[in-house]
Copies of this chain bind each other. A is one copy, B any other.
Amino acid sequence: MTPERPLRVLLADDEHLIRGALAALLALEEDLVVVAEAASGPEALAMALAHRPDVAVLDLQMPGADGVKVATSLRAELPDCRTMIVTSHGRPGHLKRALAAGVRGFVPKTVSARRLAEIIRTVHAGNRYVDPELAADAISAGDSPLTAREAEVLELAADGAPVAEIAERASLSQGTVRNYLSSAASKIGAENRHTAVRLARERGWV
């Protein structure tokens, strides 16, 4: 069971402070070695292709491309590389997106470094790990009751744009937009579209 070959890890996080500190802590684990670091999505991808790590530990929010996008690309271009997401704000939607992208581990940054190391090993062994708290949130949030168009229109309404603008951007008539907005809001149980957007965001439906 003792690994003859160390477990090669890629670390991607745009916050230098955290990335560096994390690298230092993971280096204390004898069976782990950080072979590459990246500060952005594209950089993470490039580094992964260059260094072929066993596990890629990706921050969710990075400039260029977020963790899930990187994981998706990685799955296509480097299928042997397991991916996992580490994040500060664990919202249900992110978790769903991540799992759909083939991510095998999803943990909040509130775990300890030792625990993270364990999870890296778990993921490398082919198992999955999802933070229990986050999993519970995702389950309680349930599946989105919104249809594809409802979600799309709601997303376009996110920055407070008027109906006319949404209609133009979605290539729909204004009446249709209002219908979708109305039904989306009633499904969510919101008084108006703005609170609907907020709630849908929280539940990961957009």
A112 surroundings in chain B (CB, below 8 A): 16-17, 20
Which of A17, A25, A193 has the most C-beta atoms of chain B within 10 angstroms of its own C-beta?
A: A17
CB distance A16 to B160 under 8 Å?
no
Number of this chain's copies in the complex = 2
In the complex, chain A residues 139-179 whose Cβ is within 8 Å of any chain B Cβ: 159-162
Residue of chain B at shortest CB distance from A28:
B24
Q: How far is the CA of A159 from the CA of B162 in the complex (A)?
A: 17
In the complex, chain A residues 156-206 whose Cβ is within 8 Å of any chain B Cβ: 159-162, 190-195, 197-198
A21 surroundings in chain B (CB, below 8 A): 18, 21-22, 24-25, 113
Given contacts A21-B24, A88-B88, contact A198 B16 (CB under 8 A): no
User: What are 26 A-B contacts with C-beta separation under 8 Å?
Assistant: A14-B110, A15-B108, A15-B109, A15-B110, A16-B111, A17-B110, A17-B111, A17-B113, A18-B21, A18-B109, A20-B112, A20-B113, A21-B21, A21-B22, A21-B24, A21-B25, A24-B24, A24-B25, A159-B194, A159-B198, A160-B190, A160-B191, A160-B192, A160-B195, A161-B195, A162-B192
